[in-house]
A = this chain, B = another copy of it.
Amino acid sequence: MQNTDTAFEIPASQRPAVTVDIVVFTLQERELHSLLIKRSYPPFQERWALPGGFVKLDEPLDQAARRELEEETGLHDVYLEQLYTFGEPSRDPRTRVISVAYFALVRADQQTPHTSNESSEVRWFPVRELPQPLAFDHDQILRFAVDRLRSKLEYTTLAFQLLPQVFTLPELKQTYEQILGEQLDRGNFYRKIKEAALLEPVGQVRESGGRPAALYRFRAERREGDFVFRWREARIERDR
């Protein structure tokens, strides 16, 4: 319940500010990368931070995330999902700021991010070698996002959002391995993928030094987020 009208007499100056922050993932040179922005202004001037910004008064949260992402980096049409809301009173030294964090997935082959006037630099960083510390509590948010991505990879088709339209099975396997940070058995992986009947052969082949790999694309009707493909047993998510 929210709330008696008396609660609305709280002066607006007493209201916390609300932002969205977006953790954007992509694959680059077969490694998981995340997009960061170098802050041009204090606080945390010259520190790397997640793209994000203030939610407008009559704007849905996910729309705010998309808008901020496009304004600050030029990226658009990404896969977007709400992650968690961070609200420690001290997370922003200026005033109380509550941040609704999102994570996004993009195919790196498709778009190149650009800088804006709020950021002197925009760059993809390998998740394994992030500049640290980031501004605000963005280290924590990023860790949270990586955990979530890893976890959802095991029972959804999220990985598809990181690959180009057409790809090979070895590439798919490598995507999983990169994100999970562990080696997978080729035979078992292929078997599982084929049993799920997610793929459609694209009658072509791409060379790679040895025997060429067959090309596939994901079946259109299965690209939606609600289809669940459980690719293996283990499933442990650490919340918080």
Contact = CB atoms under 8 A, between A and B. Distances in A.
A13 interface: yes
Copy number in the complex reads 2
Given A89-B59, A238-B226, A135 B98 contact: no
Given A5-B41, A16-B57, 20 more contacts: A1-B21, A1-B37, A1-B39, A1-B50, A2-B49, A3-B54, A4-B40, A5-B94, A8-B94, A8-B95, A11-B12, A12-B12, A12-B14, A15-B18, A15-B57, A55-B98, A59-B89, A60-B87, A85-B85, A155-B235
Nearest to A59: B89
A220 interface: no
Contacts of A81: 239
Interface of A: 1-5, 7-8, 10-19, 21, 37, 39-42, 49-55, 57-61, 72, 81-82, 84-85, 87-89, 92, 94-100, 118-119, 135-136, 155, 225-226, 228, 230, 235-240
Interface core residue of A2, A7, A58, A89 (most chain B CB under 10 Å): A2
A218 to B, nearest CB: 19
Nearest to A61: B87
B238 A118 contact: no
Contacts of A236: 155, 228
Nearest to A19: B2
A226 B40 CA distance: 39
A96 B3 contact: no
A83 B120 CA distance: 35
Contact of A1 (B13, B119, B238): B119
A207 B58 CA distance: 59
B2 A54 contact: yes
A104 to B, nearest CB: 14
